[in-house]
């Protein structure tokens, strides 16, 4: 009988170990049941949201016009290309404007220098004309002056000598 009790004890001992191992699991059962219920509700809500999202997706897919999208995309690409061309033209025009502005400034400087040179040239031409006039006048007047000088010089000498004689000091 002892063996019987020992066998029963071993059997209950194993059952007791199993009970102890399962007790913590059994104690967490209500919480797990609650978690399962919450997860089931969340899955249900997610399924509903998925259905709504799929319906919206179907509506959007039906409204989506691939051909129009491609047309708009091509138009956008054309606009970007046009913008790039316009920007390049603008940059070139701006660079050209800067170059032309510097060229204008350079030409204005040359113009001022040329105006100064023309003024100097006119001044020299007037001086040349005056010199030529004086030269021509002197060429015409030289024979007369020489004749008058020859004629008046002896008379002046005579009057000078006469004055020398009249003055007692000699001069």
CA distances (Å), 126 to each of 58, 113, 121, in order? 99, 20, 9
pLDDT surpasses 80 at 130: yes
pLDDT in tens, 60-85: 888 888 899 999 999 999 999 999 99
pLDDT in tens, 88-124: 999 999 999 999 999 999 999 999 999 999 999 999 9
Measured between alpha carbons, how far is 77 from 32 in angstroms, rounded to an integer? 58
Q: Could you tell me if 142 and 148 are in contact, meaning their C-beta atoms sit under 8 angstroms apart? A: no
Question: Within 13 Å of residue 50, how many CA atoms lie on the same side as its CB?
Answer: 6
The predicted model scores a pTM of 0.41
pLDDT surpasses 60 at 171: no
Measured between alpha carbons, how far is 156 from 165 in angstroms, rounded to an integer? 14
pLDDT in tens, 16-57: 778 777 777 778 888 888 999 999 999 999 999 999 999 999
What is the torsion angle, in degrees rounded to the nearest 10, for the CA atoms of residue 156, residue 158, residue 162 and residue 165?
120
Measured between alpha carbons, how far is 118 from 114 in angstroms, rounded to an integer? 6
From the list 27, 26, 20, the residue with the least C-alpha distance to 12 is 20
């Amino acid at each position: 009988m002892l063996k019987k009790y020992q066998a029963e004890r071993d059997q209950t001992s194993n059952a007791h170990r199993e009970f102890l191992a399962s007790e913590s699991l059994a104690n967490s059962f209500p919480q797990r049941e609650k978690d399962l219920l919450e997860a089931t509700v969340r899955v249900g809500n997610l399924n509903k949201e998925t259905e709504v999202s799929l319906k919206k997706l179907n509506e959007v897919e039906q409204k989506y016009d691939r051909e129009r999208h491609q047309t708009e995309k091509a138009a956008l690409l054309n606009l970007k290309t046009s913008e790039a061309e316009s920007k390049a033209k603008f940059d070139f025009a701006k660079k050209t404007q800067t170059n032309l502005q510097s060229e204008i400034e350079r030409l204005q400087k040359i113009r001022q220098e040329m105006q100064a040179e023309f003024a100097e040239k006119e001044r020299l031409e007037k001086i040349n004309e005056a010199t030529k006039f004086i030269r021509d006048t002197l060429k015409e007047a030289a024979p007369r002056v020489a004749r008058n000088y020859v004629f008046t010089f002896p008379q002046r000498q005579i009057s000078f000598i006469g004055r020398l004689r009249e003055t007692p000091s000699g001069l």
